Amino acid sequence: MNIQNANDHFLKLKEVQDLLGVSRTTLWRWQAEHGLKVVRVGDVVRVRESDLQVFLKRHETASVSGLPEKIENGA
Protein backbone atom coordinates (compact mmCIF):
# COMPACT_ATOMS: atom_id res chain seq x y z
CA MET A 1 0.00 0.00 0.00
CA ASN A 2 1.24 3.48 -0.86
CA ILE A 3 0.70 6.15 1.78
CA GLN A 4 1.41 9.60 0.34
CA ASN A 5 2.95 11.30 3.35
CA ALA A 6 2.68 9.97 6.87
CA ASN A 7 3.28 13.50 8.22
CA ASP A 8 0.44 15.05 6.21
CA HIS A 9 -2.11 16.96 8.27
CA PHE A 10 -5.83 16.25 7.93
CA LEU A 11 -8.34 19.07 8.29
CA LYS A 12 -11.91 18.80 9.52
CA LEU A 13 -14.51 20.17 7.12
CA LYS A 14 -15.25 22.99 9.59
CA GLU A 15 -11.56 23.94 9.55
CA VAL A 16 -11.60 24.14 5.75
CA GLN A 17 -14.83 26.14 5.84
CA ASP A 18 -13.35 28.64 8.29
CA LEU A 19 -10.05 28.81 6.44
CA LEU A 20 -11.67 29.59 3.08
CA GLY A 21 -14.81 31.35 4.27
CA VAL A 22 -17.18 28.99 2.46
CA SER A 23 -20.18 26.89 3.46
CA ARG A 24 -20.29 23.14 3.94
CA THR A 25 -22.50 22.96 0.83
CA THR A 26 -19.80 24.68 -1.20
CA LEU A 27 -17.21 22.15 -0.02
CA TRP A 28 -19.43 19.26 -1.09
CA ARG A 29 -20.06 20.92 -4.46
CA TRP A 30 -16.31 21.37 -4.94
CA GLN A 31 -15.84 17.70 -4.09
CA ALA A 32 -18.57 16.53 -6.47
CA GLU A 33 -18.01 18.91 -9.38
CA HIS A 34 -14.47 20.26 -9.14
CA GLY A 35 -12.34 17.45 -7.79
CA LEU A 36 -11.66 18.43 -4.18
CA LYS A 37 -10.37 15.22 -2.64
CA VAL A 38 -11.76 14.11 0.70
CA VAL A 39 -10.81 11.16 2.85
CA ARG A 40 -13.76 9.26 4.30
CA VAL A 41 -13.46 6.54 6.91
CA GLY A 42 -16.90 5.55 8.13
CA ASP A 43 -18.65 8.73 9.22
CA VAL A 44 -15.41 10.70 9.51
CA VAL A 45 -14.57 13.02 6.62
CA ARG A 46 -11.31 14.92 6.38
CA VAL A 47 -9.43 16.92 3.77
CA ARG A 48 -5.72 16.23 3.46
CA GLU A 49 -3.92 19.58 3.68
CA SER A 50 -1.73 18.79 0.67
CA ASP A 51 -4.83 17.89 -1.40
CA LEU A 52 -6.41 21.21 -0.46
CA GLN A 53 -3.27 23.06 -1.54
CA VAL A 54 -3.26 21.22 -4.89
CA PHE A 55 -6.97 21.96 -5.38
CA LEU A 56 -6.49 25.67 -4.67
CA LYS A 57 -3.44 25.89 -6.92
CA ARG A 58 -5.32 24.17 -9.75
CA HIS A 59 -8.17 26.68 -9.45
CA GLU A 60 -6.00 29.74 -9.06
CA THR A 61 -6.66 32.40 -11.67
CA ALA A 62 -4.26 34.91 -13.11
CA SER A 63 -5.00 38.61 -12.90
CA VAL A 64 -7.73 39.61 -15.28
CA SER A 65 -6.11 41.73 -17.97
CA GLY A 66 -7.91 44.57 -19.60
CA LEU A 67 -9.60 45.77 -16.42
CA PRO A 68 -8.74 49.24 -15.21
CA GLU A 69 -6.49 49.30 -12.16
CA LYS A 70 -8.60 52.01 -10.57
CA ILE A 71 -12.28 52.67 -10.89
CA GLU A 72 -13.05 56.37 -10.77
CA ASN A 73 -16.37 58.03 -9.93
CA GLY A 74 -18.07 54.66 -9.42
CA ALA A 75 -17.91 53.89 -13.12
Domain boundaries, the chain: 10-58
The pLDDT, as a whole number, for residue 55 is: 95
The answer for residues whose C-beta is within 8 angstroms of residue 46's C-beta and 6 or more apart is 10, 11, 12, 13, 38, 39
The pLDDT, as a whole number, for residue 61 is: 81
The pLDDT, as a whole number, for residue 65 is: 56
Sites in the chain below the pLDDT cut of 70 = 1-6, 62-75
The pLDDT, as a whole number, for residue 33 is: 95
Amino acid at 68: P
CA atoms in the 13 A half-sphere facing the CB of 14 = 1
The pLDDT, as a whole number, for residue 8 is: 84
Q: How far apart are CA 63 and CA 49, in angstroms?
A: 25
The SS3 call for residue 17 is helix
Q: Is the pTM of this model over 0.75?
A: no
